[in-house]
Amino acid sequence: MLASITRRLERARTVLSRATLVPLLVRGGIAVSLMLAVLVSWPASVVTSELVVPLLAVAAYPAIAPRGRGVTAAILLVVAGWVVDTTWEDARIALWRVLALATLLYLGHTLAALAAVLPYDAVVSVDVVATWLGRAGAVVLISAVLTVVALGLADELSGSAFVIATLVGLAGAVGATMLLTRLLHRTGN
């Protein structure tokens, strides 16, 4: 067991000595975005206590291992914080928090996807990451605008029509997911 720990420490030392700047910055972006998402989602009573330390550790883990299930765990942790804050703590849902969480989670997820295929010792042009972040910024901006428009329409279309529209949209999303799954299994990808 001691030999295993020694091997892992030696591997970590090798990784740090060979790492280049751009992959490290991408991994730093993962940690920062997911840690900020944790701070925005959890109640203030948790964020200002010592309980925030393990939450931030879980949020930072995907920066170390972006290929694993750590990204999913960190995102579920943020969602759990949001649910705790809005249901148990009965916090008011503010538009800035919704948009901030959506932005931070999307950035953390898309940077983790980039880091998963980007070796830590790769020599990468900054233009690659800038283009990647530009596309992510466009997605976030379009999503934010559509969210504000949808919320504006929700006030005008309240009642049973809104519930029916929500259920139809949910059914459409489930149907599209099932169709894509079936097509992927059919082609053998």
Q: 114 and 28 in contact (C-beta within 8 Å)?
A: no
Query: How many whole angstroms separate alpha carbon 159 and alpha carbon 120?
Result: 52
179 belongs to a structural domain: no
Q: Domain range spanning residue 61?
A: 2-156
Q: 108 and 30 in contact (C-beta within 8 Å)?
A: yes
176 belongs to a structural domain: no
Query: How many whole angstroms separate alpha carbon 38 and alpha carbon 80?
Result: 10
* Buried b / exposed e along 36-74 (16+ C-beta atoms within 10 A): bbbbbbbbeebbeeeebeebbebbbbbbeebeeebbeeb
Specify the pLDDT at position 187: 64
pLDDT tens digits along 9-54: 888 788 777 778 888 899 999 999 999 999 999 999 999 999 999 9
Look at 106 and 153; give whichever has higher pLDDT.
106
6 belongs to a structural domain: yes
Specify the pLDDT at position 28: 94
- In the chain, how many domains are there? 1
pLDDT tens digits along 117-160: 988 888 888 888 899 999 999 999 998 888 888 777 776 766 67
180 belongs to a structural domain: no
Query: How many whole angstroms separate alpha carbon 61 and alpha carbon 75?
Result: 11
Q: Which helix (H) or strand (E) holds 63?
A: helix 52-64
Specify the pLDDT at position 189: 54
pLDDT tens digits along 174-189: 988 888 888 888 765 5
| Mean pLDDT, all residues of the chain | 87
18 belongs to a structural domain: yes
Specify the pLDDT at position 35: 97
